[in-house]
C-alpha cells in the first residue's frame, strides 16, 4: 500500500486515525495493539505471505534482545548471542535479496551451472531488518529499554509510517514513546502539514521528473549530449523528492500518533564535499552504518591510514550492497569509498575555502555520475550513458527529445531547483 494511493488516503489512514483517537483513546495498550495490527494489515495489503517473514524477524529479535539483557553480565554469552542475531538478520537479507544475485554471479564468473531459485523480494526488507537489528544492538548498548512484551518490539519494527521507505528509525530514538508518548494537537497538525508537504513532493515533483528520467535512461535510439544531461538532472531531482518526500510523509504520520522520528535529509544538493553530501543525504542510513559498523571497527581514530582505509571500505561496500543486488550498486558504493577516503586523507573539507564554488561543482559532478550508476540497469548501460553525456558515443549535441522535454517540463525543473 502506497501513501499516495487512494485506498491509503481515503480509507486506511482515516480509519486508523478514527479508531486510535476516538474508539481507543482511553487505553494505551489497546492503541498499541491496534497500531501493530494496522501496520501488519498495511504490509499485507500488497504481499500477505511476507507478513510471516516480518513476524519471524520480530519474534527472533525480541528473543535476542531478552537474552542479551538477561546475560548482560556475561560478556562471552552476549557476544555469542550477538553473533547469532547478526547471522539471523544478515541471513534473512541474503536469502531474499542477494541469493539469486550471488548464484548468478558464480555461474557467470566460473561457468558453473548452479540452479538459481526465483525468490520474490519482500518490500521494505532492508529497512525493517536494519530496524530489528537496531533493537538488539541498542539493548546491548544500554540506550534502550528491553521489551519483555513482543507487542512493543513488533510495533517498533512494523510501524507503518516508516515501514516501506524509511527513515530507518533507531530503537533508542523512540524506545520511550512506544509506551509513554504524548499526543498533542500541535503535533497532529504539524504532522498533517508535513505529510502533505511530502505528498506534494512525491506526486508533483518526483513523479514528473521520473517521466523525463525514464525517457532518457530507457532511450533505445541514442541520446544527445543535452538530453543525457537533462535526464541525469531529472533523475537527481526525482530520487531526492521521491525519497525525501516519503521521509516527510513518514515523519508527519509518526507525529500524528505521538512518535518523533529524526530528520533524514538536510538539503544534500548544497554540499561542497562528498563527505558533507553524505552527512545530509539519507541520514538515518549513514548514521546506522557509522554507529554500528564504522565506530566498532575503530572509525577514524586508528593508528594507521591503512586501517582507516579498510574501515571506510567496509562501510561503503556494505552501503552499496544494501541498496540492491546489482554490480551497479556495488560500484556506486565503491566510488564513494574512493572519494571519501581521498577527502579524509587530504583534509579536503578544511582546504580550498576560497574556492567553494569549485568544490560545489566537483561534488555535484560526482553525485550525478553516481546517479547514472544507480539508475542504470547494468554497468554496460551506465558506461554508454556516461559516454553520451560527454559526446563520446557519436551522438549530437542537441536533438528533438531534449527540446521537447526541456520545453514541456521547464517549469518543473525550475520548481525543483
Q: Give catalytic residue positions.
A: 323
Phi, psi of 5 (to 5 degrees): -80, 155
What element of type H or E holds 415?
helix 400-416
The backbone torsions φ and ψ at residue 304, rounded to the nearest 5 degrees and listed phi first, read: -125, 150
**Cell numbers standing for residue 181:** 508518548
Distance CA 390, CA 226 (A): 9
Nearest to 411 by CA among 274, 208, 219, 189: 208
Instruction: Please name which of 152, 205, 341, 366 lies closest in space to residue 271, comparing C-alpha atoms.
Output: 366
Closest CA to 109 of 327, 351, 394, 330: 327
Closest CA to 78 of 157, 141, 170, 150: 141
**Which residue is associated with the grid cell 512484551?**
149
- Whether 233 and 209 have beta carbons less than 8 Å apart is answered as no
Torsion, Cα 245 246 252 257, to 10 degrees, reads 170
- CA distance linking residue 185 with residue 187, whole number of Å: 5
SS3 417: coil
* Beta carbons of 78 and 107 less than 8 angstroms apart: no
Across 123-142, b (16+ Cβ under 10 Å) vs e yields: bbbbbbbbbbbbbbbbbbee
**In degrees to the nearest 10, what's the CA dihedral of 18, 24, 30, 33?**
0
Yes or no: say if 97 and 60 are a contact pair by the CB < 8 Å rule: no
Amino acid at each position: 500500500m502506497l501513501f499516495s494511493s487512494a485506498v491509503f488516503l481515503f480509507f486506511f489512514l482515516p480509519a486508523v486515525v478514527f479508531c486510535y483517537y476516538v474508539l481507543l483513546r482511553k487505553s494505551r495498550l489497546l492503541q498499541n495493539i491496534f497500531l501493530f495490527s494496522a501496520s501488519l494489515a498495511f504490509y499485507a495489503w500488497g504481499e500477505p505471505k511476507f507478513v510471516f517473514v516480518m513476524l519471524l524477524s520480530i519474534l527472533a529479535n525480541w528473543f535476542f534482545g531478552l537474552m542479551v539483557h538477561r546475560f548482560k553480565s556475561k560478556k562471552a554469552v552476549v557476544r555469542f548471542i550477538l553473533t547469532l542475531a547478526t547471522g539471523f538478520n544478515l541471513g534473512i537479507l541474503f536469502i531474499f535479496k542477494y541469493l539469486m544475485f550471488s548464484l548468478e554471479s558464480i555461474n557467470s564468473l566460473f561457468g558453473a551451472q548452479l540452479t538459481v531459485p526465483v525468490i520474490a523480494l519482500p518490500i521494505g526488507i532492508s529497512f525493517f531488518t536494519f530496524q530489528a537489528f537496531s533493537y538488539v544492538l541498542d539493548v546491548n548498548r544500554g540506550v534502550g529499554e528491553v521489551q519483555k512484551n513482543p507487542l512493543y518490539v513488533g510495533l517498533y519494527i512494523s510501524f507503518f509510517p516508516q515501514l516501506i521507505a524509511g527513515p530507518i528509525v533507531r530503537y533508542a530514538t523512540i524506545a520511550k514513546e512506544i509506551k509513554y508518548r504524548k499526543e498533542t494537537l500541535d503535533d497532529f497538525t504539524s504532522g498533517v502539514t508535513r505529510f502533505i508537504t511530502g505528498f506534494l513532493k512525491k506526486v508533483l515533483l518526483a513523479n514528473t521528473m521520473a517521466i523525463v528520467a525514464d525517457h532518457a535512461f530507457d532511450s533505445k535510439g541514442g541520446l544527445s549530449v543535452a538530453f543525457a544531461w537533462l535526464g541525469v538532472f531529472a533523475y537527481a531531482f526525482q530520487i531526492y523528492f521521491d525519497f525525501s518526500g516519503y521521509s516527510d510523509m513518514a515523519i508527519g504520520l509518526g507525529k500524528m500518533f505521538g512518535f518523533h522520528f529524526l530528520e533524514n535529509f538536510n538539503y544534500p544538493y548544497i554540499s561542497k564535499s562528498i563527505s558533507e553530501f553524505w552527512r545530509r543525504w539519507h541520514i538515518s542510513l549513514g548514521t546506522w552504518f557509522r554507529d554500528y559498523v564504522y565506530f566498532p571497527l575503530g572509525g577514524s581514530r586508528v593508528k594507521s591510514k591503512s586501517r582507516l582505509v579498510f574501515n571506510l571500505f567496509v562501510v561503503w561496500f556494505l552501503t552499496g550492497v544494501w541498496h540492491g543486488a546489482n554490480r551497479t550498486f556495488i560500484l556506486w558504493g565503491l566510488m564513494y569509498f574512493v572519494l571519501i577516503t581521498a577527502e579524509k586523507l587530504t583534509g579536503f573539507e578544511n582546504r580550498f575555502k576560497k574556492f567553494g564554488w569549485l568544490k560545489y561543482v566537483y561534488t555535484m559532478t560526482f553525485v550525478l555520475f553516481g546517479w547514472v550508476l544507480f539508475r542504470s540497469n547494468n554497468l554496460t548501460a551506465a558506461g554508454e550513458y556516461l559516454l553520451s553525456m560527454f559526446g563520446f558515443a557519436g551522438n549530437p549535441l542537441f536533438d528533438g527529445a531534449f527540446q521537447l522535454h526541456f520545453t514541456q517540463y521547464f517549469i518543473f525543473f525550475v520548481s525543483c531547483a
